[in-house]
Chain A
Amino acid sequence: MITIDHLSFGYSKRKSRVFNDFSLNLQEGNVYGLLGKNGAGKSTLLYLMTGLLTPVAGEVRLNDVNVRRRLPETLSDFYFIPEEFDLPDYSLEKYVRLHAPFYPKFDHENLRSNLQMFGMTEGIKLGELSMGQKKKVLFCFALATRTSWLIMDEPTNGMDIPGKSQFRKLLIREMNEQRGAVISTHQVKDVEQLLDHIVIIEKGKALVDASTSDICRKLYFTPSANEEEARQAYFAQPSPHGYSAMLPNPDGRESEMDIELLFNGALAHPEKLGQLLNPQK
């Protein structure tokens, strides 16, 4: 479990704080979607969760150990894939030989089958890959480390369309009750169906922190041609058939969550939706 405990952080004392008394709990067995506007601090939160930044106050704990201590036991239990990264200029085989020993649970067989999903082999030269291909390779490697947590910043950015589909399949296949994933992304449509839990960050706080089943219970998403209905909604935005509306759901009607609508709605009416969708409030 990842516990973010009253976290405060700012890049410099002069600028305003990015996070102030921010708390969040992440459980294994779930795929978390981390959303927020540009500059809201998604990447910063990921860096704080992986011990890459030092909190001003509070701490982040992974399995009850402060991640900032950067103990090898902690570091070998999560894998972080940043938005941009470089890979050294040798073959993947060599990369695995040099890096896999740091992850005691590494599974070579799993790596091979992961690569197969993307149609790649271990013999590829890392220096010759495009960014999208690098992301695929590192994703395969990350899954093969069998860490409890997979933390990814814009994992599908730069991936081709078949790659995105393969990414989804692979993630679903490799997740289980002992593993958790955190995906920070703007490409919501790429991962919409995978998410168990949505966290929307705004102004240093978790505006929304709810499971998708909770969201679908409390809200009703529907296309509507009815202006009256749209007016009663928490939020509605124009669409080809009139409106897409997000309404209160007192009868518990079933509908499919529209993340874009949720996101825009939460940002437009933070108080109302925050109240509804954040258990801490």
Chain B
Amino acid sequence: MSLPSFNGRRFATLLRKDWTENWKQNIQTFLLLYAGLATYFCFCTLPDARHAHRLMLHAHSPEETAEWQTIAARIAAGIDNSWENMDTLIHWIPFLFVLLSGSVYTGRYTKNDRIRNLTLPVSASETFLLRFVRTVPLLLFGSLALFLAADYTRVFVCNALYPGLHYASPQFSFAHFHDTQWMWANTTLLAAVLFIQSVFVAVSETRTLWPTILGYLLILLVPFAMSFSGFLYKRQRLLDNLMQDTDFLLGWTLFFIAGFILNWYLAYRHLRQADLTYCKLSKE
């Protein structure tokens, strides 16, 4: 399979066109997600912060004072209490983004869209690269930016409502990068997220709808089922141990990366195969 010609200037024109046509929607989506995430973060933190604030100002009974001492100690140590509640759920955030990134590029184009896209004089490699750039780096950095923005909002709101308490502190710090364990776990998580996103991309470009539905179901239902049924919870200790096992993580990382590459290759093949029948085609 020969690689079709790639022209840098043409690609730049394609990028410009894509951004100009979609920037409003992109920004809107980003703001919407930010609003949702920030609200959720605040929702997790603020009740606890209110409780702690009340204790700080009005601790009377010995139990309350003791409780306050504990909380104050943790604040002094820089531990953000609210994250204990969110910890398990926080790892669902990437999945949310993956889900959304799948919908960004669902192949359910209308016939008119398809005609326009398929007759634009760009090569398949340029179209593919555009899709890749839109999906992977943009979304990764976008997700990170979203997370940071929501987190800082949470901290800001908390400190604004309950001054002097410093209940919340930002979650992301570069100190994390020195923690090998943290790096490994999150690299595996990153690889997993990229893999899942690539599954969405690969299944969303097919001619009929059922592979897409099947893909979504598998990727969504299985983890949700596992978590809500307590499957993971019962094996929490086992999971914790595994998370310390570098070889285990390495294996999974390699698997996810291999899957990622395979899925993007499939996406490229679909791109070459796609024609006007890959959409809601009215009867000719």
Please list the residues of chain A having a beta carbon within 8 angstroms of any beta carbon in chain B. Answer: 11, 18, 39, 41, 43-44, 47, 50-54, 68, 70-72, 75-76, 79-80, 82, 84-86, 88, 90, 94, 98-99, 101-103
Contact = CB atoms under 8 A, between A and B. Distances in A.
Interface of B: 4-5, 7, 10, 13, 16-17, 20-21, 112-116, 118-124, 273, 275-277, 281, 284
B118 A70 contact: yes
Given A11-B284, A52-B276, A72 B115 contact: no
B224 to A, nearest CB: 36
A86 B275 contact: no
Contacts, number: 72
Given A53-B277, A98-B20, 8 more contacts: A52-B115, A71-B123, A72-B5, A72-B10, A82-B115, A90-B20, A102-B10, A102-B122
Given A72-B5, A86-B112, A53 B276 contact: yes
Given A72-B7, A98-B20, A101-B13, A85 B122 contact: no
Nearest to A75: B121
A39 B283 CA distance: 9
Contacts of B284: 11, 18, 39, 41, 43-44
Nearest to B119: A80
B118 A72 contact: no
A52 B112 contact: no
Contacts of B276: 47, 52-53
Contacts of B275: 51-54, 68
B118 A51 contact: yes
A168 to B, nearest CB: 25
A41 B283 CA distance: 11
A18 B7 CA distance: 37
Contacts of B5: 71-72
Contacts of A79: 119
Name the residue among B116, B119, B122, B277 with the largest chain A CB count within 10 angstroms: B119
Name the residue among B4, B115, B122, B277 with the largest chain A CB count within 10 angstroms: B115
B235 to A, nearest CB: 48
Contacts of A51: 118-119, 275
A243 B5 CA distance: 60
A98 B119 contact: no
Contact of A85 (B13, B112, B273): B112
B112 A94 contact: no
B118 A76 contact: no
